[in-house]
Amino acid sequence: MRVSINAIKEMKSKHEKIVMVTAYDYSTAKLVDEAGIPLILVGDSLGMVILGYDSTIPVTMDEMIHHTKAVVRGTKQAMVIGDMPFMTYQVSAEDALRNAARFMQEGGAQAIKLEGGVTVSATVKRIVDCGIPVMGHIGLTPQSVHQLGGHRVQGKTPEAAERLLKDAQALEQAGAFAVVLELVPAPLSKLISQKLGIPTIGIGAGSDCDGQVQVISDLLGLFSDFVPKHARQYAKLAGSIKTALGDYMTDVKAGKFPTAENTSTMDESLLEELARA
């Protein structure tokens, strides 16, 4: 049985930290699910870490649905959350509802996530009222990175901090079951977490959030050239993968792979008949 939004809310009431990671494919999602992590976000970050885009902005609904379906197939217990890509929910509430429904019907997701606070609260309410769980996302919102002037910490002035608190409260009032706080100063994240009845999930927002989310490529050390300040590499797989690939190439060139244990045999008398024919 999959993790429910009620179970996530109950974790906050019990002061039990909530863990979420991203996943974008069947094999990785299966490992995450087997590890017992309750929330998997199919983030539009796949645009950069999987598809090689410069930002999340070019990611389409079809791409998100494709990857969401793969993640759902690899999981049995985790709640899978589909990330609404750029301009799939901002034009109108009808567009937002239609695209959110695609995540549920076509992708098999159990919830969706979208960016914004007060400005999208009416849209969030519309989606929730139609039975689709919504996770909010405020602070540094990557789809608005050009407007925000780059990947910068948000909420450092009194005015900006007040806006973020109002954004978080608007999302709760609209029916969101949780809200991601990205690149928000730790003291402000603590205050928002205390003010809200729904869980906060932090990324670069300090340890006082109700939970944490990380991009799995950062967590596993799949990128060796850049590690965000908010991330911790729990493994350094990039080096291990390069070493394994190098060993494989060396063995193939030296005739050491494949060996007899990697191949199949047959009745060679059949080959003799075939050769004569």
Identify whether the C-beta of residue 60 lies closer than 8 Å to the C-beta of residue 29. no
Residue 266 contacts by C-beta under 8 Å, 6 or more apart in sequence? none
For residue 112, pLDDT beyond 90: yes
- Supply 243's token pair: 């070493």
For residue 152, pLDDT beyond 90: no
Q: Give the pLDDT band (50/70/90) at residue 77.
A: very high
Residue 84 contacts by C-beta under 8 Å, 6 or more apart in sequence? 44, 64, 96, 99, 100, 103, 112, 113, 114, 115
In single-letter form, the type of residue at position 128 comes to V
Domain boundaries along the sequence of the chain = 5-235, 240-276
Angle at 26 between CA 50 and CA 110, to 5 degrees: 95
pLDDT digits (tens, 9 = 90+) for 169-188: 999 999 999 999 999 999 99
pLDDT at 268 (0 to 100) = 85
Please give the helix or strand (H or E) that residue 5 lies within, else none. helix 5-13
Q: Give the pLDDT band (50/70/90) at residue 148.
A: low
Higher pLDDT, 229 or 10: 10
Q: pTM of this prediction?
A: 0.94
CA atoms within a 13 Å half-sphere pointing along the CA-CB vector of 29 = 25
In single-letter form, the type of residue at position 151 comes to H
pLDDT digits (tens, 9 = 90+) for 39-72: 999 999 999 999 999 999 999 999 999 999 999 9
Instruction: Calculate what percentage of the chain has a pLDDT beyond 90.
Output: 86
pLDDT at 208 (0 to 100) = 98
Q: Give the pLDDT band (50/70/90) at residue 145.
A: low
Higher pLDDT, 76 or 145: 76
Q: What are phi and psi of 84, to 5 degrees?
A: -70, 120
Identify whether the C-beta of residue 99 lies closer than 8 Å to the C-beta of residue 72. no
Please give the helix or strand (H or E) that residue 138 lies within, else none. strand 134-139
Cα gap 24→82, rounded to integer Å? 10
pLDDT at 91 (0 to 100) = 94
pLDDT digits (tens, 9 = 90+) for 214-266: 999 999 999 767 788 889 999 999 999 999 999 999 999 999 999 999 999 98
Angle at 77 between CA 76 and CA 81, to 5 degrees: 95
CATH classification of 5-235 is 3.20.20.60, yes or no? yes
Residue 85 contacts by C-beta under 8 Å, 6 or more apart in sequence? 44, 56, 59, 60, 61, 63, 64, 143
- Supply 50's token pair: 């999987």
Active site residue 94: no
Angle at 34 between CA 211 and CA 37, to 5 degrees: 5
For residue 143, pLDDT beyond 70: yes
Q: Would you tell me how many other CB atoms lie within 10 Å of the CB of residue 15?
A: 7
* Alpha carbon distance, N-terminus to C-terminus of the chain: 59
Q: If you average pLDDT over every residue of the chain, what do you get?
A: 94
Identify whether the C-beta of residue 142 lies closer than 8 Å to the C-beta of residue 56. yes
**Closest by Cα among 149, 151, 208, 202 to 180:** 202
User: In terms of residues, how long is the chain?
Assistant: 277
Higher pLDDT, 230 or 11: 11
For residue 76, pLDDT beyond 70: yes
| Catalytically annotated residue among 182, 268, 272, 273 | 182
